[in-house]
């Protein structure tokens, strides 16, 4: 268990640092591009998580410790949006269309609502 957590933590640290570097580079080169640095990170993360999960399940080509390092750790640290996209895609691929749209819609709406509520609560 501890070994798994170390893989996740290491991958997450690298993903988080890389997210910062990508966002910072985009916003430095194109100051008016806000929030497109985040958009770019999310798109890259979605591609990576899809690719890695596909590769991992294809004849077990990616060992569990590498899945934890790259998918859970790196992609999770780089962007949790990649996991959100994968889970939505999983629902659609299982023909759970209604549940997929409900999950996607509620995640965005409730997430935005709670971000707003958190912002308001932080102001006092």
User: Cβ distance 37 to 27 under 8 Å?
Assistant: yes
Handedness of CA 43, 57, 62, 6 (dihedral sign): positive
pLDDT in tens, 103-113: 999 999 998 99
Whether residue 60 is predicted with pLDDT greater than 80 in this model: the reply is no
Question: Is residue 9 predicted with pLDDT exceeding 90?
Answer: yes
Query: Could you report the per-residue pLDDT of 72-102, keeping only the tens digit for each?
Result: 999 999 987 887 888 899 999 999 999 999 9
Question: Would you state the structure tokens that stand for residue 29, as one six-digit string?
Answer: 């080169």
| pLDDT at 124 (0 to 100) | 65
CA distance readout (Å), 46 to 41, 42, 78, 101, 116: 9, 6, 10, 18, 25
| Confidence (pLDDT) at 97 | 97
Going from N- to C-terminal start, the domains of the chain cover 2-80, 94-124
């Amino acid at each position: 268990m501890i070994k798994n957590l170390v893989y996740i933590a290491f991958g997450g640290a690298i993903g988080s640092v890389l997210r910062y570097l990508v966002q910072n580079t985009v916003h430095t080169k194109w100051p008016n591009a806000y929030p497109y640095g985040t958009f770019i990170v999310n798109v890259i993360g979605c591609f990576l998580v899809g690719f890695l999960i596909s590769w991992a399940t294809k004849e077990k080509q990616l060992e569990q410790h590498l899945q934890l390092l790259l998918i859970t750790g790196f992609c999770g640290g780089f962007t949790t949006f990649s996991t959100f996209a994968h889970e939505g895609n999983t629902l659609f691929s299982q023909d759970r269309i209604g549940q997929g749209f409900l999950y996607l819609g509620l995640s965005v709406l409730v997430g935005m609502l709670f971000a707003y509520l958190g912002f308001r609560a932080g102001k006092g």
